Amino acid sequence: MVNLRFGAIEEAYKKRPLEVKTPTERPEQFYGKYVFNRTMMYKYLPVDVYQKLIDVIDNGSRLDRSIADAVAQGMKKWAEEHGATHYTHWFQPLTEGTAEKHDAFIEHDGKGGMIEEFSGKLLVQQEPDASSFPNGGIRNTFEARGYSAWDPTSPVFIIEDTLCIPTIFISYTGESLDYKAPLLKSLHAVNVAATKVCQYFYQDVKQVHTNLGWEQEYFLVDENLYFARPDLMLTGRTLMGHDSAKNQQMDDHYFGTIPERVQAFMKDLEIQALELGIPCKTRHNEVAPGQFELAPIFEECNLAVDHNMLLMSLMKKVAHKHSFRVLLHEKPFNGVNGSGKHNNWSLTTDNGILLHAAGKTFNDNLRFVVFIVETLMAVYKHNGLLKASVMSATNDHRLGGNEAPPAIISSFLGKQISDLLEHIEKSDKENIFSLRGKTGLQMDIPEIPELLIDNTDRNRTSPFAFTGNRFEFRAVGSGANCASAMIVLNTTVAEALQNFSERVDALVAKGEELPSAIIDIIREDIKTSKPIHFDGNGYAESWKKEALRRGLDCESNCPKCFDRYLDEDSIKMFESMNVMNRNELEARNEVKWETYTKKIQIEARVMGDLTMNHIIPVATHYQSQLAKNVQNMVNIFGDVEGKKLSERNIKIIREIAERTNIIETEVEELVNARKQANKTESQRDRAIAYHDTIVPKMEEIRYHIDKLELVVSDELWTLPKYRELLFIR
Ligand code: ADP
Ligand code: MG
């Protein structure tokens, strides 16, 4: 019998780090080399066209079709000078990846030849034949048109020979079929609502931008070992595998020395990411062996989302070059930490005021308090929805484990901010601020340091922590599109801010002075949003009870969590903020449930195959070897003594028999449970059936397989083990 596992291990041992060519230039010289950024726009576009385009990008003015041709010409010239022969509309369908369809820059010239062609029309809008992307029934086949439309706020870039044009993807009737379209609408909604609130404090603010700084965790495994694990290849995670005797107990991997082969990969990845304008800054080992993290400097949210999508696909490509596979699954290995993607989120005005950071004056600090408290209001009111935005079949394994935020959304504020809010809530209003002559209003509270460095608490158990000048949403899955979480967060905050200014305006209309009105409403909201504020240990059992008592959403059944999107409150919010309508929300939920079911279905099938083709044959093969040995012993020593001397082997023979019997029965039950679940008509009920019946059955099967791994001879076991997968040589 050929054991693939040993061949794979041998190959993995031979690997040396690839030589990575260090660029002769400094990063600032090759940063953005393949991006059509402002400098390039200025160089390749006529001045008036450049100015109009910048107005579209900066001020959201309508794109004038008359400039589209000129922009396309300039872009094409630039792209060709960088070796591009093709172009594609690059979009983000609901599959969590990106999609592209490449076309060459050529057209018939009408005389039997070819000419190079790229018009404004082709730049601005396309109709990709993309009818097989999930759409939840929005596009029936008779109107199966989906349009991709250029998003000029995210610059075009070149990958290999292709000019990639970031686009939104919408149906013929205008409904969103992707992540980008609702993300842009949610960004617009926060911009409008936050600008209005800002103007209470700073008259010259015209716009508010959303910032996103993501931290991407991932695992690397050797490619040969990966190919010897059909479960990793087909599902992205190990469906079986006993713990390695040593894994992360010693905490020796975290921030440790990066293995040489991994260093080479990281360096290569970083250079290529920088060339694409992704401002990579941090790289380090993570907690689990084989786990790493990369974080760029934060950017405007839409751009940051695109960059994260781009980085994830770049990682896969670069990993392959280094004979690695990158695992973006949230829980590729049991028993060690899974991977997430922290989303650092904040708001900034067009004149550079960071709204979630404290300032020096009364005015700045009151504004700071308003943005903190209204963010809390948003998260409080829609905590279940926010959780739904990060839930998936794969992230389900991670949330709630003692390694990632629990499946209850709460917000950590730290001592300083907690004290500050308490002070504002409890003290006499007269004491909060008093008019002090020429220095203007003062807050009667200890000065808030501008940078709350010591507040960047390492309370890793909080899913939504305030970390000094931003909130950090830590429950996002490593493989997810950040947009899913950002759409919900932005929309809820927009709603909260709008609601806030409406109430303030009502008080002012009644004759109350503005600062006093603001304080009144803020005091009310500090009280209302209290249940979401939790600085304690999110892993503690007592927190679950307490959270339930506080009325927070404690649902942990993933398909049921998706229901929150269709709550009347949620629909009302998405519709009034102009982000999505009921039809879109319903369709997207169909996609979520269907995706959930499909993922579990594939896992269950792979588990069935592996059990029947690997585990049981190997275990029974070993069992026969042992039986032969027992027979030999009986032949030599006689029945009684022979069996006595073979006690250990007999015990293992029995254990293998018992476990393989159980496994076979359970695999049969698994198949039947699937058949049963597949009969369910509604996507929602089917997903729930998969969650309730298939997932627990797979866990039971796994338990016995992992026990068999411990007793079967290592030389027969065909699947690379955890100790081999997790430690990179
Ligand atoms: P850590 O959470 O490990 O302390 P960093 O301090 O390096 O990490 O920051 C993590 C991410 O948060 C980075 O992408 C960083 O640019 C981003 N970040 C920092 N300040 C803000 C902010 N005000 N708004 C949004 N993102 C921010
Ligand atoms: Mg962080």
Q: Give which of 370, 205, 210 is closest to 302, Cα–Cα.
A: 210
Cα(481) to centroid(ligand 1), Å = 18
Model confidence at 457, pLDDT cuts 50, 70, 90, reads low
* The two domains 31-178 and 596-725 share their CATH topology (first three levels equal): no
Cα(453) to centroid(ligand 1), Å = 12
3-state secondary structure of 117: coil
Cα(94) to centroid(ligand 2), Å = 26
Question: Residues 501, 504, 506, 509: is their CA dihedral positive or negative?
Answer: negative
Model confidence at 437, pLDDT cuts 50, 70, 90, reads very low
Contact between residue 404 and residue 506 where contact means Cβ atoms under 8 Å apart: no
Contact between residue 162 and residue 87 where contact means Cβ atoms under 8 Å apart: yes
Cα(343) to centroid(ligand 2), Å = 8
Over 90: is that where the pLDDT of 141 sits?
no
- State which fold the 187-580 domain adopts: Creatine Kinase; Chain A, domain 2 (3.30.590)
Q: Give which of 290, 294, 293 is closest to 248, Cα–Cα.
A: 290
Nearest ligand by distance to the CA of 468: 1
Model confidence at 683, pLDDT cuts 50, 70, 90, reads very high
Cα(472) to centroid(ligand 2), Å = 7
pLDDT for the residue numbered 439 = 43
Best residue among 216, 283, 293, 298 to mutate for probing ligand 1, ranked by most atoms within 8 Å of CB: 298
- Give the strand pairing for 464-466 and 411-412: parallel
Q: Which whole number is the average pLDDT over 559-576? A: 98
Over 50: is that where the pLDDT of 432 sits?
yes
Contact between residue 456 and residue 156 where contact means Cβ atoms under 8 Å apart: no
Token reading at 273: 């990411």
Atom of ligand 1 nearest to the CA of 214: 14
Cα(459) to centroid(ligand 1), Å = 15
Atom of ligand 1 nearest to the CA of 213: 14
pLDDT for the residue numbered 307 = 98
Q: Which whole number is the average pLDDT over 622-651? A: 97
pLDDT for the residue numbered 445 = 52
Q: Which whole number is the average pLDDT over 268-297? A: 90
The answer as to CATH 1.20.120.1560 being correct for domain 596-725 is: yes
pLDDT for the residue numbered 319 = 97
Atom of ligand 1 nearest to the CA of 467: 2
Model confidence at 383, pLDDT cuts 50, 70, 90, reads very high
Atom of ligand 1 nearest to the CA of 282: 7
Token reading at 195: 């600008």
Atom of ligand 1 nearest to the CA of 456: 4
pLDDT for the residue numbered 167 = 93
Contact between residue 134 and residue 594 where contact means Cβ atoms under 8 Å apart: yes
Contact between residue 166 and residue 154 where contact means Cβ atoms under 8 Å apart: yes
Measuring from atom 11 of ligand 1, which residue has the nearest CA?
A: 213
Cα(215) to centroid(ligand 2), Å = 7
Cα(212) to centroid(ligand 2), Å = 12
- Give the strand pairing for 99-104 and 86-91: antiparallel
Atom of ligand 1 nearest to the CA of 298: 16
Atom of ligand 1 nearest to the CA of 357: 23
Q: Which whole number is the average pLDDT over 88-104? A: 86
Q: How far is CA 494 from CA 187, 378, 465, 501, in A?
A: 9, 8, 19, 11
Atom of ligand 1 nearest to the CA of 345: 25
User: Which is more confident, 405 or 572?
Assistant: 572
Q: What crossing angle do the helices spanning 301-321 and 482-509 adopt, rounded to 10°?
A: 170
CA distance 95 to 309: 12
Token reading at 562: 């998706």
Give the angle 251-252-256 at the CA atoms, nearest 5°.
125
Q: Which whole number is the average pLDDT over 627-653? A: 96
% of the chain at pLDDT higher than 70:
92
Q: Which whole number is the average pLDDT over 389-410? A: 86
Atom of ligand 1 nearest to the CA of 295: 14
Q: Give which of 612, 699, 710, 711 is closest to 230, Cα–Cα.
A: 612
Nearest ligand by distance to the CA of 283: 1
Contact between residue 469 and residue 165 where contact means Cβ atoms under 8 Å apart: no
Tell me the per-residue pLDDT of 120-137, one tens digit each, with 9 for 90 and over: 888 888 877 656 677 777
* Domain coordinates in residue numbering, the chain: 31-178, 187-580, 596-725
Cα(471) to centroid(ligand 2), Å = 10
Over 70: is that where the pLDDT of 453 sits?
no
Cα(215) to centroid(ligand 1), Å = 8
Question: Residues 85, 90, 95, 97: is their CA dihedral positive or negative?
Answer: positive
Q: Which whole number is the average pLDDT over 385-405? A: 87
Over 90: is that where the pLDDT of 347 sits?
yes
Model confidence at 33, pLDDT cuts 50, 70, 90, reads very high
Nearest ligand by distance to the CA of 471: 1
User: Which is more confident, 114 or 18?
Assistant: 18
Cα(467) to centroid(ligand 1), Å = 9
Q: Which whole number is the average pLDDT over 74-96? A: 92
Cα(247) to centroid(ligand 2), Å = 23
Measuring from atom 22 of ligand 1, which residue has the nearest CA?
A: 470
CATH architecture classification, 31-178:
Roll (3.10)
3-state secondary structure of 443: strand
Token reading at 623: 């069992």
Over 60: is that where the pLDDT of 175 sits?
yes
Question: Residue 115: phi, psi to the nearest 5?
Answer: -130, 155
Model confidence at 401, pLDDT cuts 50, 70, 90, reads low
Cα(157) to centroid(ligand 1), Å = 25
Model confidence at 287, pLDDT cuts 50, 70, 90, reads confident
Best residue among 217, 344, 375 to mutate for probing ligand 1, ranked by most atoms within 8 Å of CB: 344
Which residues, in sequence order, are bridge partners of residue 86? 104, 162
pLDDT for the residue numbered 61 = 84
Q: How far is CA 98 from CA 24, 135, 325, 523, 623, in A?
A: 32, 15, 18, 44, 48
CA distance 413 to 404: 18
Q: How many CB atoms lie within 10 A of CB 155?
A: 21
CA distance 90 to 159: 11
Nearest ligand by distance to the CA of 340: 2
Cα(58) to centroid(ligand 1), Å = 24
Question: Residues 607, 612, 614, 620: is their CA dihedral positive or negative?
Answer: positive
Over 70: is that where the pLDDT of 280 sits?
yes
Token reading at 327: 């695992």
Pocket residues: Cβ below 6 A from ligand 1: 211, 213, 215, 282, 295-298, 344-346, 354, 456, 469-470
Runs of H (alpha helix) within 638-646:
639-645
Q: Give which of 156, 176, 175 is closest to 166, Cα–Cα.
A: 156
Tell me the per-residue pLDDT of 578-609, one tens digit each, with 9 for 90 and over: 999 999 999 999 999 999 999 999 999 999 99
User: Which secondary-structure segment (H or E) carries 214?
Assistant: strand 208-222
Token reading at 330: 């949230």
* Mean pLDDT computed over every residue of the chain: 90
Atom of ligand 1 nearest to the CA of 354: 23
Contact between residue 283 and residue 267 where contact means Cβ atoms under 8 Å apart: no
Atom of ligand 1 nearest to the CA of 356: 23
Nearest ligand by distance to the CA of 462: 2
Least confident range from 18-27, 203-212, 253-262, 381-390: namely: 253-262
Calculate Rg over the CA atoms of the chain. 29
